[in-house]
Structure 1
């Protein structure tokens, strides 16, 4: 009996890191508990009893995180870790993001076909299942996990730097998917069923004789006339066409620009020695980014917790309980096992760096996250922001429990 109990209690983690099953549970649950605690403090600060983080304050905090703190974190961590050789070794990270979007779309289509969400939320339901948060939430979890000295991925600094670099390396692909594929899928039906949001961005109503794909939903500046185009030349007109068609303005957001700069500078040895090494003449800039980047985690969690004060809003009733439950189940329960299969198959085929546990852990996290917050921003641009807000509210609530379970499983598989 003692041998049986010992066999049950000991896991592969025990052989690698001296951790029992309860130790693995502790390592997996503690980061979630830290995240939940900071979100609760944000919720408390935004509540009517304290009201330190009102709606306008949360918008400003979100803007600060997105425009400054997150780019600083990505630039400092990714730039220090990346080299040309490592970029070649990490090629499967962006591929994993694409495969995750494809597999999530297939699962979302099957779920939506079975559940039959109310019109016009069929494509909306698919996207809410397909597109996970591959940036902010994994960064928060990695930071919380690496702070624990008993984590199985090595010392705190190495764990944090590697994890942040891996996550940041895949973010640019996620942005392209969001502002091309997701933007297209969120196009409203010809009848203009979606209600327009009361936001700062004006919208155009689709015309009767125009397909939704060909209608510009956001008010754009007046297009230049043919005479202007003839003056500027065909090359410039073509570049403008490509710029607008690929929505580069939306894709080239501050975190993506920071990722590109970090990869370019980190891949050039001369520039890397000039900026990212501790004795470099311009290291003061990198050190400043490190200081600002450390503030990203608490700020984004306070803002996320504060946003939960408003609750799901009227969007839940529009989507319907059955569709909402199906989205939560599909995103948090059905997508991760498929992602696990993708990562294990890639490992068997030799696509992943040998012996790098953190690399595999980040790949698995990319498939296990709640619905992307940025997909809610795209939904807001397309006029269905209230429905997306309802989904994000409930998915993130239940993700607290699902992520803990999946992390426990991943740690026991990896170790």
Structure 2
């Protein structure tokens, strides 16, 4: 009977998420014409630049203190662990299933980064609001749960837009075109002379890449030289292109706009307000002179969760119209994200509690365990749309993984609650 009660508690928040997701799918149907492609794009922009930063800022400002931040040091470690192990398992999956080159970034991103921002913010507060929630007082549970989930959201924004985003970019059609051309020249040193002494240059003067499937080719004529010198010139050209390619890659990785997305900026501002007592007394507390600012940010942030859930449903609808994907590939991603990583999470979190690395807090342990059992991050779908690499395949993978997660996440939540109590 106890297990059944825990199952019902874990089922309710997941059922709410599922219902809102289904609503998003219905609204995106052409029959209703309420969420067109333009509307989805505009809504994504609002969530990315307004709702999500406001939610992270308001939650962390009102719940996080310096002492609490130090106490939660184990959460970044767990999140990085999921990314490292997920990437390693994803690489094995790529090798075993022989994934096409342009889908490697998609598969690695789906295995490495879970939905660490959206789902914890939906599931954890919903469990706390249940009348018979197992984590104690509803108000305290909700306050602490929002703090844990908001910190997870801030950390997730770094990983998604600095790691997963660039993984998809590296394996985009633009990169494929570059590597195929270089390989062709490498395998045939006389290729340049046979093709009119031309080499490939894919970079403009400002260093920006085009997000299309066509390569920008600039013809460079070379002079007639003996065969030996031709080979030397060709190899030097190849070396030059490789060096430029790696430099451009490093410049993209160091792009501050990607490393510091709006959600992270909002989280940093919220942390500063919450940690610095002067700012906290000025903005956050009930009698604060500028409490109206915090109240306004909270109102804006409250729109984030329903908007993101509706967008998940709208994006999943594309999976019914997407390209075909190997069953073995989908099955492998589901195994990694819904079985392998949760098992790793149980061993990691319970081991940390046993050896005294973290204090015994059932809600905190539950959030740490939950981070290991989440489906792929929705932002990966945004990256594939941006680069035009595997958009249809990504929709199918998202549809399959989130459909399976509707069941597996409920079961894992039930087990996690039983485990931490």
- Offset at residue 286 of structure 1 (A): 0.8
Aligned partner (choices 319, 339, 342) of residue 311 of structure 1 = 319
**In the alignment, what sits opposite 1:285?**
293
CA 80–128 in structure 1, closer or farther in 2 if over 3 Å, else same: same
Post-superposition Cα deviations, 1:196-236, rounded to whole Å, max 9, x if no partner, equal xxxxx74473879434953758xxxxxxxxxxxxxxxxxxx
Residues 103 and 390, structure 2, Cα contact 8 Å, conserved in 1: no
Query: Is 1:326 aligned to 2:358, yes or no?
Result: no
CA 94–69 in structure 1, closer or farther in 2 if over 3 Å, else same: same
**In the alignment, what sits opposite 1:101?**
83
Residues 339 and 364, structure 1, Cα contact 8 Å, conserved in 2: yes
**In the alignment, what sits opposite 2:371?**
366
- Offset at residue 374 of structure 1 (A): 1.7
Query: Is 1:143 aligned to 2:125, yes or no?
Result: yes
Normalising by structure 1, we get a TM-score of 0.80
Q: Distance in 2 between matches of 1:176 and 1:106?
A: 19
Residues 157 and 263, structure 2, Cα contact 8 Å, conserved in 1: no
Query: Is 1:214 aligned to 2:214, yes or no?
Result: no
Q: Distance in 1 between matches of 2:287 and 2:68?
A: 22
Residues 190 and 206, structure 1, Cα contact 8 Å, conserved in 2: no
Post-superposition Cα deviations, 1:124-168, rounded to whole Å, max 9, x if no partner, equal 423321211110111111232223222112333322221221122
**In the alignment, what sits opposite 2:345?**
339
Query: Is 1:397 aligned to 2:379, yes or no?
Result: no
CA 37–128 in structure 1, closer or farther in 2 if over 3 Å, else same: same
Residue-pair matches, total: 365
**In the alignment, what sits opposite 2:151?**
169
CA 177–72 in structure 1, closer or farther in 2 if over 3 Å, else same: closer
Q: Distance in 2 between matches of 1:48 and 1:28?
A: 34
Q: Distance in 1 between matches of 2:335 and 2:27?
A: 30
Query: Is 1:46 aligned to 2:28, yes or no?
Result: yes
CA 95–205 in structure 1, closer or farther in 2 if over 3 Å, else same: farther
Q: Distance in 2 between matches of 1:74 and 1:124?
A: 27
CA 380–45 in structure 1, closer or farther in 2 if over 3 Å, else same: closer
Q: Which SS does the other structure have where 1:285 is aligned?
A: helix
Alignment of 1:15-164 (within 5 A): 20-164=2-146
CA 44–375 in structure 1, closer or farther in 2 if over 3 Å, else same: closer
Q: Distance in 1 between matches of 2:105 and 2:282?
A: 48
Q: Distance in 2 between matches of 1:371 and 1:305?
A: 14
Residues 176-185 or 29-38, more deviating: 176-185
- Offset at residue 48 of structure 1 (A): 2.7
Give 4+ residue runs of structure 1 displaced > 6 Å after superposition. Answer: none
Larger Rg, first or second structure (1 or 2) = 2
**In the alignment, what sits opposite 1:5?**
none
Post-superposition Cα deviations, 1:45-102, rounded to whole Å, max 9, x if no partner, equal 2223322222222222222222222222211111111111111111111111111111
- Offset at residue 192 of structure 1 (A): 5.5
Residues 282 and 291, structure 2, Cα contact 8 Å, conserved in 1: yes
Residues 171-180 or 357-366, more deviating: 171-180
- Offset at residue 377 of structure 1 (A): 2.6
Normalising by structure 2, we get a TM-score of 0.79
Residues 376 and 385, structure 1, Cα contact 8 Å, conserved in 2: no
Q: Distance in 1 between matches of 2:321 and 2:379?
A: 18
Query: Is 1:294 aligned to 2:299, yes or no?
Result: no
Q: Structure 1: which 5+ residue stretches go unaligned?
A: 1-8, 10-19, 195-200, 218-240
Q: Distance in 2 between matches of 1:365 and 1:284?
A: 34
**In the alignment, what sits opposite 1:376?**
381
Residues 74 and 164, structure 1, Cα contact 8 Å, conserved in 2: no
**In the alignment, what sits opposite 1:247?**
255
CA 248–27 in structure 1, closer or farther in 2 if over 3 Å, else same: same
Q: Distance in 2 between matches of 1:272 and 1:351?
A: 29
- Offset at residue 372 of structure 1 (A): 0.8
Residues 55 and 302, structure 2, Cα contact 8 Å, conserved in 1: yes
Post-superposition Cα deviations, 1:232-276, rounded to whole Å, max 9, x if no partner, equal xxxxxxxxx98x652211122221111000111211111111111
Aligned partner (choices 267, 270, 273) of residue 265 of structure 1 = 273
Q: Which SS does the other structure have where 2:35 is aligned?
A: coil
Q: Distance in 2 between matches of 1:206 and 1:135?
A: 37
CA 147–62 in structure 1, closer or farther in 2 if over 3 Å, else same: farther
